Structure 1
């Protein structure tokens, strides 16, 4: 009594087809249970970074083996400049756990800006403990990222903490991003300072701020224009995303003075010397005496050879010397206004 006895039984109408159907139904139940396990385990891991192995490609989507489960890195979440090999280990950001027609699916990303935020949280202890806060991020995956940081503690430099000793912290992040350029910017509540920090090292000339339209027009010198805008407009575009303001950068057009204007300016300068009339100044400038310094280097005989000046040469030389003495008095003398 109590022994187990195995007896082979062949139920009626239970042939090969029926047994295959039973097997398929059983496998479906097992797969459904596995997928429910995926959902229950990963639904709270959204926002984490996981490591896995590239298993296969389905068109441009990548299937990643996470150990017990498989996840999907869709083409839209891939970095355009990155290529993966089967068997390669990669780190990804868990963007979502979605319920698809085929059951729960783990969606990974390497292009999401939050991937960079999470990497900095893991690398910089001051961010994870709340001393430094990441205020904003703008990213063009594979090319450039701008990160705005702020410190709750005045003694802690937010940019320096993120860069790390000899740049080690930011180098670790850049290495994970396959040498994507990362700009770490100090956040500022004042839009002018914030945009200036975001566009550094470009030197900005003037700002025109339109508060109502949240638009900023910036003038820069022509030699700073390409630096401020960046390659294919990338620097200006990321600055707009980061700050939330439309940033328009234009070159400063310097008005070039023409020859006639220069001549008129020189005549006016010479005519301002007491004792020299505008008519005399006009003649002197057209004969090459463009300033007070030119007159001081001339002799009365030089001016006397000019028909329109003639006998007035000595008086003009004296007027020039008197003006020079007034502008540059000797030590101990007082300038006469």
Structure 2
């Protein structure tokens, strides 16, 4: 059948094939198969433009023309926009960079260090714990008299998306030494006590400093914290204007938990100071969390769980 189709399209009434073997028409037939159409062979076996277009279209109609990929310069603004949105979301909900402006947290943090602050866990109801280094908004004009900087447009933009610390936000960074329900006390030069337990602060208090300051400006105190508040102190005890020296403000030196931005978890800059900011071991000592009339509480949940399991076991035995 292939030979007949080729002969019919040649327009020579088959005269050229008289007296020749049947195999002489094979090359023409092969050309037709290669083109993808038995009836699409042109004279002398060449494929016409019409048949090539038909092959591209296929049986289902016109084929889709491949889209020309966008140039890099057209995609660049889109990529930049996505990056900015991601940076803003990260700054708002996950992590933000802050700069250390003073020496009040030496030697844990040095002036000029950049720390990354975890802002995610507070969204899930987590509250500051003793020993954590936290960033918080100025509760009541603690930063009065401190010098302020005037950032340029680029610095303002970078701080807005979280790539630079903000110079306009009035934030402080200190260590939490007490939480709601705690009684904090300083007598003489120390040690600092929490709920009657003395803290061994040698691992983080600035060398040469005493845990408490023997002065009448606030270095001697005893406070009981209500729920929803924390007591903060700098690691450089004799060079830190913290809760001790702001007891005359509206919060009596305490920081509302709602003003806490997040926990500082990593020193990110400079490179030679990379490291984490863990909770010192002294805050894990036994008895620090002890509260009156709380001795029997750990047993109660176990008893409740046991009472809940017994009916289930009896029901399963009866069913069997």
State if a TM-score over 0.5 links the two structures. no
TM, length-normalised to structure 1 = 0.23
Which structure has the higher relative contact order (CA within 8 Å, separation 6+)?
2
TM, length-normalised to structure 2 = 0.24
**More helix by percentage:** 1
**More strand by percentage:** 1
